[in-house]
């Protein structure tokens, strides 16, 4: 292979064969990067659920202690219409889905329980997060929630959608449809409820810190 220097000398030699007039040149480039619409999820007013100080004397020794339902306002804003989906990852998954018989936000399914941390190897409790259809507005219009596994076969959630620590995706559609819709703004109300494990399972002589944490991730479709 010839070196770059040899190629350059050859090209100049051919050029001077046809013209004795030297010429300068300039390159014109046309460049850009095409990106999808950018969407930003946020929790209006902050994403911390604080149950304050709970006296150990109020816990039941042989049953779970349900805590009040709290509300969070979820907003998604996009700079252009976009189809997106949400998923949840339970950061404390090792301490969740183990309180059989517990009902949170009307669900007794273990898959809807998220972890609240551990004390001496015992699960402190669990919590659940759900989204109700009647408090969901996409571009100002009431919409449906739809869910799909990794196969992306979407189905409508009848009333209350529970976030689970799985690969399921949650998206949004026009009423009665099963296809994700593009939007620029979404507003939804999330319900959160926690429960504390049976008092007999915990060391109530020491402070116990509820330590639930989960991440809601946004995916572009």
Residues 74-123 have pLDDT tens digits of 999 999 999 999 999 999 888 766 788 999 999 999 989 999 999 988 89
Q: Tell me, letter by letter, the H, E, C secondary structure of the chain.
A: CCCHHHHHHHHHHHHHHHCCCCCCCCCCCCCCCCCCCCEEEEEECCCCCCCCCCCHHHCCCCCCEECCCEEEEEEEEEEEEECEEEEEEECCHHHCCCCCCCCECCECCHHHCEECCEECCEECEEEEEEEEEEEEEECCEECEEEEECCCCCCEECCCEEECCCCCCEEEEECCCCCCCCCEEEEEEEEEEEEEECCHHHCCCCCCCCCCCCEEEEEEEC
The per-residue pLDDT for range 24-47, each reduced to its tens digit, is 788 888 877 777 789 999 998 888
The band of 214, judged by pLDDT with boundaries at 50, 70 and 90, is: very high
The per-residue pLDDT for range 109-144, each reduced to its tens digit, is 998 999 999 998 889 999 999 998 888 999 999 999
16 pLDDT exceeds 60? no
Task: State residue 20's pLDDT score.
Answer: 56
End-to-end, the C-alpha distance of the chain in Å comes to: 47
Residue in the block written with tokens 């329980």: 113
217 pLDDT exceeds 60? yes
Q: Which structural domains are found in the chain, ordered by start?
A: 35-220 (2.60.40)
């Amino acid at each position: 292979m010839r070196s770059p220097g040899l190629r350059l000398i050859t090209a100049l030699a051919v050029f001077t064969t046809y013209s004795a007039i030297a010429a300068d040149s300039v390159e014109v480039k046309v460049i850009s990067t095409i990106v999808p619409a950018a969407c930003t999820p946020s929790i209006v007013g902050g994403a911390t659920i604080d149950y304050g100080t709970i006296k150990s004397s109020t816990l039941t020794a042989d049953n779970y202690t349900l805590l009040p339902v709290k509300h969070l306002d979820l907003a998604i804003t996009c700079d252009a219409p976009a189809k997106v989906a949400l998923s949840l990852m339970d950061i404390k998954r090792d301490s969740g889905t183990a309180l059989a018989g517990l009902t949170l936000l009307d669900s007794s399914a273990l898959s809807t329980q998220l972890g609240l941390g551990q004390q001496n190897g015992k699960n402190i409790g669990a919590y659940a997060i759900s989204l109700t259809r009647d408090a969901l507005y996409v571009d100002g219009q009431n919409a449906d929630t739809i869910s799909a596994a990794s196969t992306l076969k979407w189905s409508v959630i009848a009333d209350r959608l529970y976030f689970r620590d799985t690969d399921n995706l949650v998206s949004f559609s026009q009423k009665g449809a099963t296809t994700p819709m593009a939007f620029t703004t979404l507003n939804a109300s999330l319900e959160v409820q926690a429960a504390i494990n049976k008092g007999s399972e915990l060391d109530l002589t020491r402070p116990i810190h509820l330590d639930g944490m989960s991440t809601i991730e946004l995916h572009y479709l």
